[in-house]
Amino acid sequence: MFFSGSESEKRGKKVIKNLYYFSENQMLDCNQYVIEDSNTDELALFDAGNGMSLKGLFKGMEKFNLDPSNITRVFLTHEHIDHVLGLYPLMVKLKENPPEIYAFGETVKILEKGEKSQICPDILGIDLTMFGIEIIPLKVNELINSNNVKVSPDFNFQIHYTPGHSLGSICYYDFTNKLLIPGDLVFTGGSFGRYDFPGGSLNALVNSIKYVNNLDVKYLLPGHMGISNQGNEQIAFSYRMIQSISSFY
Protein backbone atom coordinates (compact mmCIF):
# COMPACT_ATOMS: atom_id res chain seq x y z
CA MET A 1 0.00 0.00 0.00
CA PHE A 2 1.07 3.52 -0.80
CA PHE A 3 1.02 4.83 2.76
CA SER A 4 1.76 1.61 4.62
CA GLY A 5 4.95 2.98 6.17
CA SER A 6 3.12 5.72 7.98
CA GLU A 7 3.39 4.27 11.47
CA SER A 8 7.15 3.95 11.25
CA GLU A 9 9.23 6.19 13.42
CA LYS A 10 10.44 9.49 12.03
CA ARG A 11 14.17 9.39 12.49
CA GLY A 12 15.41 12.13 14.75
CA LYS A 13 18.73 13.91 15.06
CA LYS A 14 19.90 16.58 17.44
CA VAL A 15 21.09 19.52 15.31
CA ILE A 16 22.35 21.76 18.12
CA LYS A 17 21.40 22.05 21.79
CA ASN A 18 17.59 22.09 22.16
CA LEU A 19 16.93 21.73 18.42
CA TYR A 20 15.95 18.45 16.80
CA TYR A 21 15.40 17.37 13.20
CA PHE A 22 12.88 14.65 12.28
CA SER A 23 13.33 13.57 8.69
CA GLU A 24 10.40 13.12 6.31
CA ASN A 25 8.89 9.68 6.41
CA GLN A 26 7.62 8.76 2.95
CA MET A 27 6.03 10.33 -0.05
CA LEU A 28 4.25 13.57 0.68
CA ASP A 29 5.56 14.08 4.17
CA CYS A 30 8.01 16.80 5.24
CA ASN A 31 10.93 17.31 7.58
CA GLN A 32 9.95 18.62 10.99
CA TYR A 33 11.93 20.48 13.61
CA VAL A 34 11.38 20.66 17.36
CA ILE A 35 12.78 23.32 19.67
CA GLU A 36 12.78 22.64 23.37
CA ASP A 37 12.68 25.40 25.96
CA SER A 38 14.84 23.86 28.66
CA ASN A 39 13.37 26.13 31.36
CA THR A 40 9.73 25.30 30.78
CA ASP A 41 9.93 21.98 28.83
CA GLU A 42 7.61 23.58 26.26
CA LEU A 43 8.12 22.49 22.67
CA ALA A 44 7.74 24.39 19.44
CA LEU A 45 7.10 22.33 16.32
CA PHE A 46 8.05 23.57 12.85
CA ASP A 47 5.65 22.20 10.22
CA ALA A 48 3.02 19.60 10.90
CA GLY A 49 3.80 16.87 8.35
CA ASN A 50 1.12 14.97 6.45
CA GLY A 51 -0.81 13.66 9.45
CA MET A 52 -0.20 10.03 8.51
CA SER A 53 3.29 10.48 9.95
CA LEU A 54 2.19 11.99 13.28
CA LYS A 55 2.52 8.75 15.23
CA GLY A 56 5.95 8.28 13.73
CA LEU A 57 6.95 11.78 14.81
CA PHE A 58 5.77 11.08 18.36
CA LYS A 59 7.77 7.83 18.42
CA GLY A 60 10.83 9.64 17.19
CA MET A 61 10.41 12.41 19.77
CA GLU A 62 10.16 9.94 22.63
CA LYS A 63 13.67 8.72 21.86
CA PHE A 64 14.91 12.18 22.83
CA ASN A 65 12.61 12.43 25.86
CA LEU A 66 10.50 15.04 24.10
CA ASP A 67 6.90 14.69 25.26
CA PRO A 68 4.48 15.54 22.41
CA SER A 69 1.92 16.79 24.92
CA ASN A 70 4.36 19.64 25.64
CA ILE A 71 3.93 21.06 22.12
CA THR A 72 2.47 24.50 22.76
CA ARG A 73 3.20 26.18 19.42
CA VAL A 74 3.26 25.06 15.79
CA PHE A 75 5.03 27.27 13.25
CA LEU A 76 4.24 26.67 9.59
CA THR A 77 6.41 27.48 6.60
CA HIS A 78 3.57 27.38 4.05
CA GLU A 79 0.14 26.04 3.25
CA HIS A 80 0.80 22.78 1.36
CA ILE A 81 -0.67 19.42 2.31
CA ASP A 82 2.63 17.77 3.29
CA HIS A 83 3.34 20.58 5.78
CA VAL A 84 -0.11 21.26 7.25
CA LEU A 85 -2.27 18.14 7.12
CA GLY A 86 -0.77 16.93 10.39
CA LEU A 87 -2.36 19.91 12.15
CA TYR A 88 -5.77 18.25 12.18
CA PRO A 89 -4.88 15.01 13.99
CA LEU A 90 -2.44 16.98 16.18
CA MET A 91 -5.21 19.28 17.40
CA VAL A 92 -7.34 16.22 18.17
CA LYS A 93 -4.50 14.48 20.06
CA LEU A 94 -3.72 17.60 22.08
CA LYS A 95 -7.30 18.76 22.55
CA GLU A 96 -6.89 19.12 26.33
CA ASN A 97 -4.23 21.73 25.71
CA PRO A 98 -4.23 22.62 22.00
CA PRO A 99 -1.12 24.36 20.66
CA GLU A 100 -1.24 27.80 19.09
CA ILE A 101 -0.70 27.78 15.33
CA TYR A 102 1.41 30.44 13.60
CA ALA A 103 1.68 31.19 9.88
CA PHE A 104 1.97 34.02 7.39
CA GLY A 105 -0.39 35.79 4.97
CA GLU A 106 -2.15 33.45 2.55
CA THR A 107 -1.37 30.43 4.70
CA VAL A 108 -3.41 31.98 7.52
CA LYS A 109 -6.35 32.73 5.21
CA ILE A 110 -6.32 29.27 3.63
CA LEU A 111 -6.20 27.45 6.98
CA GLU A 112 -8.83 29.66 8.57
CA LYS A 113 -11.16 28.98 5.63
CA GLY A 114 -10.12 25.34 5.34
CA GLU A 115 -9.54 25.74 1.58
CA LYS A 116 -8.89 22.23 0.30
CA SER A 117 -7.98 23.32 -3.25
CA GLN A 118 -5.06 25.43 -1.96
CA ILE A 119 -3.85 22.93 0.62
CA CYS A 120 -3.99 20.06 -1.86
CA PRO A 121 -3.72 21.49 -5.41
CA ASP A 122 -5.27 19.36 -8.19
CA ILE A 123 -1.89 19.31 -9.94
CA LEU A 124 -0.66 16.86 -7.30
CA GLY A 125 -3.30 14.35 -8.35
CA ILE A 126 -3.79 13.36 -4.72
CA ASP A 127 -7.09 12.10 -3.41
CA LEU A 128 -7.41 13.68 0.03
CA THR A 129 -9.66 10.85 1.22
CA MET A 130 -6.59 8.58 1.06
CA PHE A 131 -5.32 10.36 4.15
CA GLY A 132 -8.60 9.94 6.01
CA ILE A 133 -8.15 13.43 7.41
CA GLU A 134 -10.84 16.09 7.33
CA ILE A 135 -9.80 19.67 6.66
CA ILE A 136 -11.70 22.02 8.94
CA PRO A 137 -11.30 25.76 9.62
CA LEU A 138 -8.58 26.44 12.21
CA LYS A 139 -7.68 29.48 14.25
CA VAL A 140 -4.23 30.71 13.20
CA ASN A 141 -2.03 33.50 14.56
CA GLU A 142 -0.63 35.75 11.86
CA LEU A 143 3.12 36.34 11.66
CA ILE A 144 4.34 39.67 10.31
CA ASN A 145 7.12 39.99 7.74
CA SER A 146 10.46 41.06 9.28
CA ASN A 147 9.10 40.80 12.83
CA ASN A 148 10.85 38.63 15.37
CA VAL A 149 9.46 35.60 17.19
CA LYS A 150 11.15 34.49 20.37
CA VAL A 151 10.60 30.74 20.42
CA SER A 152 12.69 30.07 23.54
CA PRO A 153 15.51 31.84 25.40
CA ASP A 154 17.96 30.30 22.88
CA PHE A 155 16.04 30.83 19.65
CA ASN A 156 14.82 34.08 18.19
CA PHE A 157 13.57 33.95 14.63
CA GLN A 158 13.03 36.75 12.17
CA ILE A 159 10.22 36.18 9.68
CA HIS A 160 11.16 36.61 6.03
CA TYR A 161 8.43 36.54 3.40
CA THR A 162 9.83 34.47 0.52
CA PRO A 163 7.20 33.79 -2.19
CA GLY A 164 7.77 31.72 -5.32
CA HIS A 165 6.91 28.20 -4.17
CA SER A 166 3.56 29.34 -2.78
CA LEU A 167 1.87 32.60 -1.81
CA GLY A 168 2.13 31.98 1.93
CA SER A 169 5.80 30.86 2.03
CA ILE A 170 8.11 32.21 4.70
CA CYS A 171 11.56 31.49 6.07
CA TYR A 172 12.40 31.51 9.76
CA TYR A 173 15.87 32.95 10.33
CA ASP A 174 17.79 32.95 13.60
CA PHE A 175 20.73 35.30 13.25
CA THR A 176 22.48 34.31 16.51
CA ASN A 177 22.48 30.59 15.73
CA LYS A 178 22.86 31.25 11.97
CA LEU A 179 19.99 28.97 11.29
CA LEU A 180 17.47 29.06 8.44
CA ILE A 181 14.20 27.11 8.19
CA PRO A 182 13.22 27.87 4.57
CA GLY A 183 10.30 25.48 4.06
CA ASP A 184 10.26 24.52 0.37
CA LEU A 185 12.27 27.49 -0.91
CA VAL A 186 15.72 25.88 -1.07
CA PHE A 187 16.92 22.37 -0.39
CA THR A 188 20.35 20.83 -0.09
CA GLY A 189 22.18 19.45 -3.12
CA GLY A 190 21.36 22.39 -5.39
CA SER A 191 17.61 21.78 -5.31
CA PHE A 192 14.85 24.30 -4.86
CA GLY A 193 11.07 24.36 -4.51
CA ARG A 194 8.59 23.75 -7.30
CA TYR A 195 7.03 26.87 -8.78
CA ASP A 196 4.23 25.27 -10.80
CA PHE A 197 1.66 25.09 -8.00
CA PRO A 198 -1.14 27.67 -7.64
CA GLY A 199 0.44 30.95 -6.55
CA GLY A 200 3.92 29.78 -7.57
CA SER A 201 6.28 31.87 -9.67
CA LEU A 202 9.74 31.14 -11.02
CA ASN A 203 10.63 34.81 -10.95
CA ALA A 204 9.58 35.19 -7.33
CA LEU A 205 11.43 31.99 -6.42
CA VAL A 206 14.65 33.30 -7.97
CA ASN A 207 14.30 36.57 -6.07
CA SER A 208 13.55 34.82 -2.78
CA ILE A 209 16.57 32.51 -3.11
CA LYS A 210 18.71 35.51 -4.02
CA TYR A 211 17.44 37.17 -0.85
CA VAL A 212 18.28 34.30 1.53
CA ASN A 213 21.60 33.85 -0.28
CA ASN A 214 22.62 37.12 1.40
CA LEU A 215 21.89 35.89 4.93
CA ASP A 216 24.61 34.41 7.12
CA VAL A 217 23.52 30.76 7.34
CA LYS A 218 25.35 27.84 8.89
CA TYR A 219 22.43 25.46 9.49
CA LEU A 220 20.07 24.99 6.57
CA LEU A 221 16.97 23.10 7.75
CA PRO A 222 14.67 22.66 4.74
CA GLY A 223 11.24 21.08 4.35
CA HIS A 224 12.52 18.09 2.38
CA MET A 225 15.68 16.06 1.83
CA GLY A 226 18.71 16.42 4.07
CA ILE A 227 19.91 19.22 6.30
CA SER A 228 23.29 20.92 6.15
CA ASN A 229 25.72 22.75 8.40
CA GLN A 230 27.17 24.46 5.34
CA GLY A 231 24.10 26.56 4.71
CA ASN A 232 25.61 29.34 2.66
CA GLU A 233 27.37 26.96 0.28
CA GLN A 234 24.13 25.02 -0.20
CA ILE A 235 22.00 28.11 -0.81
CA ALA A 236 24.57 29.47 -3.27
CA PHE A 237 24.50 26.12 -5.10
CA SER A 238 20.69 26.25 -5.39
CA TYR A 239 20.88 29.87 -6.50
CA ARG A 240 23.28 28.95 -9.31
CA MET A 241 21.03 26.06 -10.35
CA ILE A 242 17.86 28.13 -10.51
CA GLN A 243 19.62 30.92 -12.38
CA SER A 244 20.72 28.44 -15.03
CA ILE A 245 17.12 27.21 -15.40
CA SER A 246 15.52 30.64 -15.43
CA SER A 247 17.84 31.79 -18.19
CA PHE A 248 15.98 29.42 -20.56
CA TYR A 249 12.74 31.39 -20.14
**Closer CB to Zn ion, residue 24 or residue 184?**
184
**Closer CB to Zn ion, residue 59 or residue 224?**
224
Q: Could you give the string, one character per residue 88-107, with x where binding to Zn ion holds by CB under 5 A and - elsewhere?
A: --------------------
Using the rule CB under 5 A, is 80 a contact of Zn ion? yes
Rg of the chain's alpha carbons, rounded to an integer? 17
**Closer CB to Zn ion, residue 155 or residue 192?**
192
- Sign of the dihedral through C-alpha 111, 115, 116, 122: negative
Considering only residues 173 to 202 of the shown chain, the ones binding Zn ion according to CB under 5 A are 184
How many CB atoms sit inside 10 A of residue 99's CB?
21
CB of 70 to Zn ion, least distance (A): 27
Residue 148 vs residues 45, 48, 71, 156: alpha-carbon distances, Å: 17, 21, 20, 7
Among 31, 28, 45, 15, which residue's Cα sits nearest to residue 223? 31
Instruction: Find the part of the chain contacting Zn ion (CB under 5 A) among 62-70, 77-85, 127-135, 236-244.
Output: 77-85
CA angle 157, 225, 131 (to 5 degrees): 95
Using the rule CB under 5 A, is 168 a contact of Zn ion? no
User: How many residues belong to the chain?
Assistant: 249
Using the rule CB under 5 A, is 31 a contact of Zn ion? no
Give contact residues for Zn ion (rule: CB under 5 A): 80, 184
